[in-house]
Amino acid sequence: MIQEVLDFHYERMQNLKKYYPFFKIKDSSLTLYKEGKYADIDMGYVLMAVLRFFIEENNFNNMEVTYGKYAAFLYELLERDFQIPSSSEDTKELIGYIFDKIHNEGKPFYMDYYDPADRKKKVTRVKLINSQLNEGQVTYTLTSDAIEFYLDTKEIKDESKINIEQLLLEKMIRSNDFAAGIQVVRRINHEVTMLRLRKNEVIQVLSNDVFEGMSAYDSFVKTGMRWFDEEQKLFQKNTELIRKAVEKAELSSKDEGATDAYRRSLQEVHDLEKELLKAIGKHNELLTDCIDLQKKADEMLRTAKFNKLRATFDFRDYEGKIRAKQDTSMLKLIVEPLLLPNIRKTWNLSGIEDLITYPQNAEEQAEKVEETETTNYQYEDEEADKRIHRNFVSIARTLFDQLLVKERFDLRAFNRKLEIKYFDDIFRNSDYYSFFVHLCQKREYRLWEIEKEPDTFLEGIIADLLRLPENEKYRNLHFRINLSKDFSEDLIENIQGVSGEEKESFFTSNIEFCNCKTEGEQKGQKGVEHVHG
């Protein structure tokens, strides 16, 4: 029993990670957003609806989703199910806030777990939505983990989903329910598309880390490829049933007494036959892709093993490994080859005198073991997160220092302060503009509340900043952001860079910062009502 727990824990965690984003998003309810105005909205229901919408567009209609399409869908859902008016400006902000939670602002969800085999904590990553830039427009598609999670919430995992759908299709054909059978075949097409998507992800993992990729490949073979023979037999069986149904329907439709409903049924049979032939074609393409994947996996593994071989044996390097592991049994690999050629071993008696006269040290010297440094690999998005966190903290600290000494100032005055501190390089940094985009998501900030319950990505960084003892002076800040009604009336020109002899500029709308703390708030008393300045 214990061995089973150890051996299968990693596999179970990889299966569970698909469900982690759902509970993460569901826990981040809307009770703190807009002072609980939308607390009745169930984020779990909204997430499942959005995933179904993406599946419909990506897999059934073969179309990529833009933010505008997503927003139109969510406008209708919120108005129908939660009576939220679609014409409200707050609804527009709410839809963007929900998308940031589901999309996780472009970052994967991280799930920590303990690996008993290696006896250390590990982190696994999972994303729901991928984004890409196509012809100047950002489009979004679901990942295979998101599709598999949605299907697993309703269907059975231990059996092939294609087999289950084909058994259902056989039942539909025998009961002459051809319209429902068309929907079943479309689900089969969707499942085949999902398997091809997983195949592409396995190839991507193989190209980055061949040994981790082989683990993903073995998992794909167990869950995706093992059912091919049975699926092909079911395809042949259902194709034959449809062929007989077509022959029977064509003969009956020629009768003078055939009704319009029967002729419509004949058309449905033909449509079902076309959809099934399309599914068979996609299934054969998937089989070809999987055979190609197997060849690529074998070739990549063979190349990786060949690269691991060394032309010479480095005794010094091997000695270092023995010291690091503190395992003297590894000396066997060095000594055995030296003893093998001379099987009959002799002892020279003259060597006894050498043993007796051999000088010995007065005391034994301790062996010095050098510690080896372990390097942790960091992903590009993790390095970008650290850079963004560092730059946001620096700009936020400068903003809070200004609010402590001035009751009111605008972005133009704040830019002069930043330019003195960081020179004009600050305006060439994209994190500068990103900071104010995040900051303007809200109009008012009470930092003592943010420290307890951060609500946005920026507030999470500010909360970490406030927890440091040297930033105690910022915790009682309360300020408001005033935006211009007409964003084009007061623009600030920031030089972004130099291209040849022409300067490239960015224009930002001016905003105003107001320190609105009252005397009662400045005393730092918590739990009392605060009056806006």
C-beta neighbour count of 510 within 10 angstroms: 17
| Sign of the C-alpha dihedral computed for residues 322, 326, 327 and 331 taken in this order | positive
Model confidence, pTM? 0.37
Distance CA(162)–CA(193), nearest Å, equals: 11
Cβ atoms of residues 455 and 93 within 8 Å: no
Q: How far is CA 409 from CA 18, 249, 289, 436, 491, in A?
A: 47, 80, 62, 15, 15
Distance CA(123)–CA(378), nearest Å, equals: 12
Q: How far is CA 311 from CA 308, 334, 335, in A?
A: 10, 16, 20
C-beta neighbour count of 185 within 10 angstroms: 24
C-beta neighbour count of 40 within 10 angstroms: 12
Three-class SS of residue 482?
strand
pLDDT of residue 254: 56
pLDDT of residue 513: 92
Cβ atoms of residues 315 and 334 within 8 Å: yes
Q: What residue ranges of the chain have pLDDT lower than 50?
A: 155-159, 256, 497-501, 518-533
Cβ atoms of residues 480 and 440 within 8 Å: no
CA-nearest of 259, 262, 238, 233 to 248 is: 262
Cβ atoms of residues 164 and 155 within 8 Å: yes
Side-chain half-sphere CA neighbours of 356 within 13 A: 5
- Helix segments in 154-259, DSSP class H: 161-174, 178-208, 210-220, 228-253
Side-chain half-sphere CA neighbours of 42 within 13 A: 7
pLDDT of residue 514: 93
- 59 φ/ψ sector (left φ>0, alpha ψ -120 to 50, else beta): alpha
Helices then strands, each counted (H, E), the chain: 20, 11
CA-nearest of 326, 422, 314 to 371 is: 326
Q: How far is CA 370 from CA 316, 324, 398, 445, in A?
A: 13, 7, 45, 52
Which backbone phi and psi does 30 adopt, to 5 degrees? -95, 20
pLDDT of residue 172: 60
CA-nearest of 140, 138, 132, 145 to 63 is: 140
Task: Give one DSSP letter per residue of 132-164, joined into a string.
Answer: EEETTEEEEEE-HHHHHHHHHTTS-SSS-HHHH
pLDDT of residue 318: 83
Give the H or E element holding residue 409: strand 408-410
- 100 φ/ψ sector (left φ>0, alpha ψ -120 to 50, else beta): alpha
pLDDT of residue 164: 59
pLDDT of residue 529: 37
C-beta neighbour count of 393 within 10 angstroms: 16
Structure-token match 């129908």, residue found:
80
